[in-house]
Copies of this chain bind each other. A is one copy, B any other.
Amino acid sequence: MIKEDSTEIVLKPIGIIRTPYRGNYAPYQPLEREEGEARLILKPEYHSALADLEKFQYIYVIYYCHLIEESWQARICPAWAKGKEVGLFASRSPVRPNPIGLSVVKIKKVQAGEVVTNLIDAYDGTPLLDIKPYIKELDSKQDANYGWIMEVDGYDHLLLHIRGIAHKD
């Protein structure tokens, strides 16, 4: 029936993500503050494919969450929404059947085979799979909502996380 389903898909990193996050801490989402940066370092064969990227304000970064060791669970309790249990696909947890990470970050500059961005929510050394331009209207949906996040007690605190605003936890 679902023939395409059984195939294994093999991907190859196009580079690596450099961030200050080593050990056991990385933020839950990109941080838009000015200080600090991440670097997307591409393998030489991909350098010229970065042309024109700096004309965009934002990009999508797609990566492989290579440090995940746990098995995925169909329902999870997000660390930043204590007490709330939700379906895995309604969450951004990296512990998924395919641990693909997706982040929207701002370009600071593009230089010699690398893209410098604001701080991304990935560990240092994360394999980079793809970079795509984030295009106004196509990607910035004005009528998007917060889903189940608005049902959580103290959702105003969660919104600080979403906005990447520094605060005491």
User: B-contacting residues of A (Cβ < 8 Å)?
Assistant: 2, 4-16, 29, 41, 43, 46, 48-53, 55-58, 60, 62, 64, 66, 72, 74-75, 86-92, 96-98, 100, 102, 104, 125-127, 129-149, 151, 159, 162-163
Contact = CB atoms under 8 A, between A and B. Distances in A.
Contacts of A126: 4
A16 B132 CA distance: 23
Contact of A56 (B8, B90, B125, B140): B90
Contacts of A72: 49
A51 B9 contact: no
Contacts of A43: 2, 5
Given A5-B16, A98-B12, A148 B49 contact: no
A51 B64 contact: no
Given A87-B50, A89-B50, A163-B137, A10 B12 contact: no
The number of times this chain is found in the oligomer is 2
Nearest to A138: B162
A16 B2 contact: yes
A9 B46 CA distance: 18
B9 A129 contact: yes
Given A10-B8, A11-B8, A51 B100 contact: no
B97 A14 contact: yes
Contact of A29 (B14, B46, B138, B146): B138
B137 A56 contact: no
B127 A89 contact: no
